[in-house]
Amino acid sequence: MELKVKESVYEPMEDSHMMQREIEIRAKGKKVLDIGTGSGIQAITAALAGAKEVWAADVNPIAVRCAQSNAEANNCDINFVESDLFTYVPKKKFDLIVFNPPYLPSDGIHEDLRWSGGLEGIEVILDFLSQVKPFLARDGAILFIYSSYANPDRLAKMMKRFGFKLEVVSQKHIFFEDIFVGLATIG
């Protein structure tokens, strides 16, 4: 895959590649939505794996343009929207919704949309989980990244409260944290 990343756009890291591997085995024939697309890596992975339809969103307009040009470089037909979470995502049902969110706790001063997931690190993913259901097909699934460093126990509790079943499909120790790929279904 050919990817160019501009300043202020998340350079794909190990978390991106963990997510990519899970998308590769699940996207074929599916309608896929990638929230927080950044460079477009996950949306492009879904398109190259044979997804039926792919939408991608990011709140950062520079990321949206960067992902659009990466999609063109890889001959992928992807629909992009500049959107804070689901605000401008069309009201469709997706089979697979993926989000590698900003998931590190922030100090409240140095906020960066690429990394800062709020004071606990899970605020952005919790907002996402509170809004995702109307966009998810009945037997659809969500793939998302989270960290042992950002209150995973409260995240698991909140997921139950939102009515999701959570399964860890991939896990890796990186520097000071364990990174997880969670698979959530309505359960």
The reply on whether position 42 binds ligand SAM by CB under 6 A is yes
* Bridge partner list, 146: 180
The reply on whether position 58 binds ligand SAM by CB under 6 A is yes
The reply on whether position 123 binds ligand SAM by CB under 6 A is no
Q: For residues 72 and 77, give the distance between their C-alpha atoms in angstroms, rounded to a whole number.
A: 8
Closest by CA to 44, choosing from 15, 14, 12, is 12
The reply on whether position 14 binds ligand SAM by CB under 6 A is no
Instruction: For the segment 60-79, give every residue that binds ligand SAM (CB under 6 A).
Output: 60, 63
Token code pair at residue 183: 């698979």
Q: Per-residue b/e over 145-179, b at no fewer than 16 CB within 10 Å? A: bbbeebbbeebeebbeeeebebeebbeeeeeebeb
Per CB under 6 A, the list member of 47, 54, 80, 102 interacting with ligand SAM is: 102
Q: Please tell me the count of residues contacting ligand SAM according to CB under 6 A.
A: 24
**Burial tier of 33 (Cβ tally within 10 Å: 0-12, 13-18, 19+):** buried
The reply on whether position 182 binds ligand SAM by CB under 6 A is no
Q: Which is nearer to ligand SAM, 58 or 95 (CB)?
A: 58
* Bridge partner list, 144: 99, 182
Asked whether the beta carbons of 26 and 186 are under 8 A apart, the reply is no
Q: Which is nearer to ligand SAM, 72 or 187 (CB)?
A: 72
In angstroms, what is the minimal distance from the CB of 128 to ligand SAM? Answer: 8
The sign of the torsion formed by the CA atoms of 59, 61, 64, 66 equals negative
In angstroms, what is the minimal distance from the CB of 63 to ligand SAM? Answer: 5
The reply on whether position 41 binds ligand SAM by CB under 6 A is yes
Which residues contact ligand SAM (rule: CB under 6 A)?
10, 12, 16, 19, 35-39, 41-42, 57-60, 63, 84-85, 100-102, 113-114, 124
